[in-house]
Homo-oligomer: A and B are copies of this chain.
Amino acid sequence: MDYYSSQISRLIEQLSGLPGIGPKSAQRLAFHILNMPEENVEKLSRSILDARQNIHYCKECLTLTDDELCPICKNPQRDHSVIMVVEDTRDLAAYEKTGKYEGVYHVLHGAISPMLGIGPNDIKLKELIHRLEGDVREVIIATNSSLEGETTAMYISKLVKPTGIKVSRIASGVPVGGDLEYIDEVTLLRALEGRVEL
């Protein structure tokens, strides 16, 4: 890339290291940035560094936050006796968007995967068990519906059951608006097994 000056090349190189950004997009982004007003570029650059330097795990639920406790754990309106266990902060955000869940969360930061060599000690399970010593009514397992997510769900349910706390798993089934014709057989079978009386 010696037809670009070194600073442009460096910027393109840095940008193409990000996920989902190939060399063409990196080039397009770089030129967009070069044409942005300087104060906006300063804001972008600062927000990247600030976020990285000030973000850590919430002391309670382990989601990523810039305070000791995340906005959800800090909120006294939430039901702190119901814990939804998710794989990562984005899954938490997905449930928050529904606006209907009133409990709190626990972020595992991963899922058990024997294939990738990720065991129970590599995700935030100890922290979950520790939380169960408090006043907890129900643990809702909302790990993904993948092999890893299911394995993790099974593992957690076995850990929680002896404590007498209620454990539940979010339902698998046909997505709302989904056309049966295009849905895989495993999902169809799950939907059948999980049928509810009307």
Contacts and interface: CB of A to CB of B under 8 A. Distances in A.
Contacts of A19: 28-29, 32
Contacts of A53: 38, 41
Interface in A55-98: 55, 64-67, 70-72, 88-90, 92-93, 96-97
Contact of A48 (B2, B3, B45, B97): B45
A159 interface: no
Q: On chain A, which size bracket covers the interface?
A: 35 or more
Interface of A: 1-8, 10-11, 14-15, 17-21, 25, 27-34, 36, 38, 40-55, 64-67, 70-72, 88-90, 92-93, 96-97
9 contacts: A3-B72, A8-B64, A11-B48, A14-B43, A14-B44, A14-B47, A14-B48, A17-B44, A28-B90
